[in-house]
Structure 1
Amino acid sequence: MACFFRRRIAAKLGRTLQQSEDAFIPALSAVPVFKKQQGADFKLSISTLRISGILPSTGDIQLQTEHLATRLKQDSVVEDISAGCGIINFKVNRKLLVQKMLEPFGKEEDDKFGLNSELFNTLKKGTTLVEYSSPNIAKKFHAGHLRSTIIGNFIANLKQCLGNNVIRMNYLGDWGMQFGLLGAGFAQFGCQEKLKENPLQHLFEVYVQVNKEAEHNEDMKQAARDFFRQLEQHDNEAVSLWQQFREITVDEYQQVYKRLGVHFDVYSGESFHQHQAQEVVQQLQSRDLLKTSEKGTGVVDLSTSGDTSSVCTVLRSDGTTLYITRDLAAAIDRKEKYNFNEMIYVTDKSQANHFRQLFHILLAMGHSWADRCKHVPFGLVRGMKTRKGEVVFLEDVLDEARARMLHNMSQSKTTKEMDNPEDTAEKVGISALIVQDFRGPLQSDYKFDWDRMLQAQGDTGVFLQYTHARLSSLMRRNDGVKAVAFDPSLLLEQTSITILQHLLRYDEVLYQSAQDLQPKHLVNFLLKLCHLIASAHRELPVKGSAQDVAQVGRESLKYISISLFLNVPSTLLNTLMNILKNKHIG
């Protein structure tokens, strides 16, 4: 395992420079591999040693590099040491590399590979609350909520894998003036029979109709304001209708979440904090933070220089609360209820200013833990269309992914017969959707491309699924073969070594994702591993090989399969984890 080699190299450096070996861990990293290229396994950054004060920060860095390299001696673990440009390269013993990297497998906890790395010692553990998805009640699941759902689930899975206690929260948009409009609109345009037949579609139609009416009808606008005021005053009839809309919507959403493989520990919502929002207003008043604007609204001035753009409205002129007021109340309530060590909000980047103001107000109210709240923003998806045209609802996207994948499977000569091709097409299609989304930086907008997403070759979720299916099939076909003693010397071809070298980087990639909460590091690591495995299939065949060689092939393939899919911490969503761990395809 990588931590064994990193620790041994660090110990060598510690003895040479008379420093604690722990001081060298941050400066050591596994070397990225290139197919067919023999090279070092680890590299040491001299710049990092200079910055940390281990080496003098003055003088010629290259002379410093070469001098240190000559002082380091080879041993049974490190068989070659060389100086590069500001770095020192270390090549470990090849038999030991094979032995140590395959050692965890076959044991009870082989799915914990890479998770005992010393790199994770610096990560803070505790309770992490992740708020994600958060669609609006009484509306169909909009395609725009897809990114929040899968990114939030990735973060929750990653934190859980690294030992945190994770609370997965869906904070529903179930309050506000939108319900004033919907309530008033349903009284005029709604139909209980249609609501039973197709609940969210009918509510969507009512909402569109009432919005159009309110554009030119002042009476409708007033009716909406009146209905929302009735809600805030707990009028029985208004609350009953609202409750009906909420229950219908959550039931419908859970069907979509099931398709994505997503689950939540808590379904919360703005409505849970309507009373507490008024308490927040009182707290703001008591701290002299709440001011009244010329328009009669309640505002908090976050600026130090009178900049009006930093004035945040927390109360309407009629005394009703706003989204940010309820967010303040929700944050305070969550801290009291869950005592989280960190709270992460996953929304699109247009809400960056909202969360900046939210955290700023919490700090002004005396809640120092607001420093441990974080907003993870993401960009927009452009050009998401189905054959019917522009996409509005997520279900349409998932249906289209399944249909297109099913068509591609039917056209492929290599597709095998299967019991439920539609189910397979659904799983592969959704995996492809997720992988395309996760390949780039989260904050970047990206252009949606069905054809590129569903290609069987290239850096796609389909290729990833195909690789796992092929490994699983090979393992099943050789499952009954008698085991022989494992001999590391049989796995020294460069193709094998290259895969093991790549896997040396696993804990570093995981650590990098934990630092910036970006899935791209793990996704691109997986895709690179898939390409290396494709080479191994061609160059290290199990079929037709001698029994001892074939057994090593099976061991290595088991190792690759577990590392690639079963052990990676649900990084491509629980969906992908379920598909790859419990429901092999192929």
Structure 2
Amino acid sequence: MACFFRRRIAAQLGCTLQQPEDAFIPALAAVPVFKKQQSADFKLSIATLRMSGILPSSGDIQLQAESLAARVRFMTDDLKRDSVVEDVSAGRGVINFKVNRKLLVQKVLESFGKEEEGQFGLNSELLNTLTRGTTLVEYSSPNIAKKFHAGHLRSTIIGNFIANLKQCLGNNVIRMNYLGDWGMQFGLLGAGFAKFGCQEKLKQNPLQHLFEVYVEVNKDVEQNEEMMQAARAFFSQLEQHDSEAVSLWQQFREITVDEYQHVYKRLGVHFDIYSGESFHQQQAQQVVQKLQSQGLLKTSEKGTGVVDLSTAKDMSSVSTVLRSDGTTLYITRDLAAAIDRKEKYHFDEMIYVTDKSQAIHFQQLFHILLAMGHSWADRCEHVPFGLVRGMKTRRGEVVFLEDVLDEARARMLRNMNQSKTTKETVNPEDTAEKVGISALIVQDFRGPRESDYTFDWDRMLQAQGDTGVFLQYTHARLHSLIQRNEGVAAVLFDPSHLLEQTSVPVLQHLLRYDEVLYQSAKDLQPKHLVNFLLKLCHLIASAHRELPVKGSSQDVAQARLRLFSGARSVLANGMKILGITPVDQM
């Protein structure tokens, strides 16, 4: 696999330049596959060697590449002891290494027999440079008493991807859903329920009824100052733990969590902890007291409690942490929550997954935590994402996630029924659900995370092209191939039967898997892994057409089956990191 070849090439370079071989590992990368046939497998960046001081930073970079390539080539020819590297050449600012083809086949594919399922590529020098520890990921975080809106889909699936990735790379991951279960919205809902609510309707269709109440009360507040006063009074009762107000709030919270868990189950998402703003009311007041004792709390002209964020300390930039009536705000509770989590879970890093409109909120949050003396705030990160445009169902604009999932399943089921290649499955609805959700995820993950994108049902559900349906179709096809040839599979295989123009690019592409995971861990962008898997599927499609297992001699069939089995394993594991459940039939 890649780490074996990287290590051997690095040893050669270390010998040539009289440097420790570990110094070359970060500069070596597997060459992306652009065509069916390519000669180089790894490339060494001269710019990286210059930045690290191994090569002089001045002079012509191309001449340096050619000179170093000649020295490495001479060393290889002179020693005649390294059967790993077949050819060394200079490219544009890089040195290219072509490895022994039989060894490439053998090392990449034998690792699937040696390692546990899902471990391919994880025992890598690159990945071992990543810091491991306890990672707390806060994601999804919808508001109580509202139906799960499609807008929360991005936070949920991006957060799930990050948690899966961190766990796969050896971190202890805590998955937290921090519910919006406190604040003035509950003042509105409580006052609104007293006027527009009905316990009978609440039992029959709980979230729909609460949604209707919330819409009505917001209309009423615009024309009725008394209703706004009633909302403030209800929230004040909540903050003072009035038993009736708390009982109604608890009812709203339990109803909503039950409903959310049903949606999460469909998405294949789970949480270790359901937390919420309400957990930190008293602690929020303690944070206010702490800010006051540290001299960080100021009073604005409006009578609100603020923290001065300006570098000149002239109140030109402030964050409001307390209303004039003494009640806390969202950021106050977020401060309390962060401090509480550090004390409880001793995290090494904490990641918040919310849309990019909250960027300023998190800048202020981390700034205040650092000002309070919590140096660990430097290890907190906001992972922002863009908005989805045009997400609507056939019924119209008001989009709840359940409606989107139902429509994805229905459309996928219809497509499967119309397709000539669809196999009979035990549970076609379940298959359609999983494939529909994978289509949603891949459409979302293909571009940069921070970018807005336009939702497109037809493009998303295409069986051909770069879609989640294509990933699932490829996996199901490989699974079927392996099942049909169970008697052919063998522990040993002859690498010389996999030197064709269509098999070598698959192996070259698999060499990049650890680099893709490494890049994903550095910038928390799912697009790297999605694009890697889509490319793998295209390469597999070519290999599947040109390398038949059935009708080949036993030796050839065994080797080809090992190639397809290894590719299926990487495809399945990559899909699982993305949050996609691979299907075996479709």
TM-score normalised to structure 2 length: 0.97
> Shift in Å at residue 571 of structure 1?
2.3
Instruction: Kindly indicate whether the alpha-carbon contact (under 8 Å) linking 2:2 and 2:511 is maintained by their aligned counterparts in 1.
Output: yes
Matches within 5 A, 1:111-130: 111-130=118-137
> Shift in Å at residue 304 of structure 1?
2.0
Identity rate, percent: 83
Matches within 5 A, 1:402-413: 402-413=409-420
Instruction: Kindly indicate whether the alpha-carbon contact (under 8 Å) linking 2:423 and 2:585 is maintained by their aligned counterparts in 1.
Output: no
> Shift in Å at residue 218 of structure 1?
0.8
Q: Secondary structure at the match of 2:38?
A: coil
The 3 A distance-change label for structure 1 pair 367 and 251 is same
Instruction: Kindly indicate whether the alpha-carbon contact (under 8 Å) linking 2:33 and 2:508 is maintained by their aligned counterparts in 1.
Output: yes
Q: Which 4+ stretches in 1 moved above 6 angstroms?
A: none
Instruction: Kindly indicate whether the alpha-carbon contact (under 8 Å) linking 1:157 and 1:569 is maintained by their aligned counterparts in 2.
Output: no
Paired residue type of 2:95: I
Match of 2:151 among 138, 144, 163: 144
Aligned to 2:279: 272
The 3 A distance-change label for structure 1 pair 66 and 485 is same
- The CA deviation string for residues 222-275 of structure 1, in whole angstroms up to 9 with x for no partner, is 000000000000000000010111001000000000000000000000000000
Instruction: Kindly indicate whether the alpha-carbon contact (under 8 Å) linking 2:489 and 2:562 is maintained by their aligned counterparts in 1.
Output: no
- The CA deviation string for residues 475-503 of structure 1, in whole angstroms up to 9 with x for no partner, is 11111336474111111102110000011
Aligned mates of 2:113, 2:12 — CA distance in 1: 30
Aligned mates of 1:156, 1:92 — CA distance in 2: 35
- The CA deviation string for residues 153-189 of structure 1, in whole angstroms up to 9 with x for no partner, is 0000000111110000000000000000100111111
Paired residue type of 2:339: I
Paired residue type of 1:528: K
- The CA deviation string for residues 552-586 of structure 1, in whole angstroms up to 9 with x for no partner, is 11111111111111x3373221xx1xx32xx5224
Aligned mates of 1:84, 1:9 — CA distance in 2: 17
Instruction: Kindly indicate whether the alpha-carbon contact (under 8 Å) linking 1:173 and 1:269 is maintained by their aligned counterparts in 2.
Output: yes
Match of 1:222 among 226, 229, 233: 229
Aligned mates of 2:13, 2:23 — CA distance in 1: 9
Aligned mates of 2:511, 2:352 — CA distance in 1: 32
Question: Does residue 438 in structure 1 map to residue 445 in structure 2?
Answer: yes
Matches within 5 A, 1:310-329: 310-329=317-336
Aligned mates of 1:483, 1:214 — CA distance in 2: 72
Aligned mates of 1:472, 1:36 — CA distance in 2: 24
Aligned to 1:66: 66
Question: Does residue 429 in structure 1 map to residue 436 in structure 2?
Answer: yes
Paired residue type of 1:531: H
Matches within 5 A, 1:26-105: 26-73=26-73, 74=76, 75-105=82-112
Instruction: Kindly indicate whether the alpha-carbon contact (under 8 Å) linking 2:489 and 2:561 is maintained by their aligned counterparts in 1.
Output: no
Match of 1:354 among 349, 361, 371: 361
Instruction: Kindly indicate whether the alpha-carbon contact (under 8 Å) linking 2:44 and 2:95 is maintained by their aligned counterparts in 1.
Output: yes
Aligned mates of 1:198, 1:186 — CA distance in 2: 15
Aligned mates of 2:141, 2:567 — CA distance in 1: 36
The 3 A distance-change label for structure 1 pair 342 and 318 is same
Question: Does residue 420 in structure 1 map to residue 427 in structure 2?
Answer: yes
Aligned to 2:577: 571
> Shift in Å at residue 305 of structure 1?
3.2
> Shift in Å at residue 110 of structure 1?
4.1
> Shift in Å at residue 415 of structure 1?
1.3
Aligned to 1:232: 239
Q: Secondary structure at the match of 1:130?
A: strand
Q: Secondary structure at the match of 2:151?
A: helix
Paired residue type of 2:436: G
Aligned to 2:162: 155
The 3 A distance-change label for structure 1 pair 473 and 307 is farther
> Shift in Å at residue 538 of structure 1?
0.7
Q: Secondary structure at the match of 2:352?
A: strand
Aligned mates of 1:19, 1:499 — CA distance in 2: 33
Instruction: Kindly indicate whether the alpha-carbon contact (under 8 Å) linking 2:393 and 2:399 is maintained by their aligned counterparts in 1.
Output: no
The 3 A distance-change label for structure 1 pair 482 and 373 is closer
Paired residue type of 2:323: R
Aligned to 2:79: none
Gaps of 5+ in 2: 77-81
| RMSD (Å) for aligned C-alpha atoms | 1.2
Worse-superposed segment, 97-106 or 133-142: 97-106
> Shift in Å at residue 106 of structure 1?
2.2
Question: Does residue 19 in structure 1 map to residue 19 in structure 2?
Answer: yes
- The CA deviation string for residues 455-490 of structure 1, in whole angstroms up to 9 with x for no partner, is 000000000000000000001111133647411111
Matches within 5 A, 1:116-265: 116-265=123-272
- The CA deviation string for residues 126-157 of structure 1, in whole angstroms up to 9 with x for no partner, is 10000000000011001100000000000000
Question: Does residue 291 in structure 1 map to residue 298 in structure 2?
Answer: yes
Aligned mates of 2:514, 2:473 — CA distance in 1: 24
Instruction: Kindly indicate whether the alpha-carbon contact (under 8 Å) linking 1:180 and 1:227 is maintained by their aligned counterparts in 2.
Output: yes
Aligned to 1:523: 530
Match of 2:487 among 456, 480, 483: 480
TM-score normalised to structure 1 length: 0.97
Aligned to 2:10: 10
Aligned mates of 2:575, 2:486 — CA distance in 1: 26
Paired residue type of 2:29: S
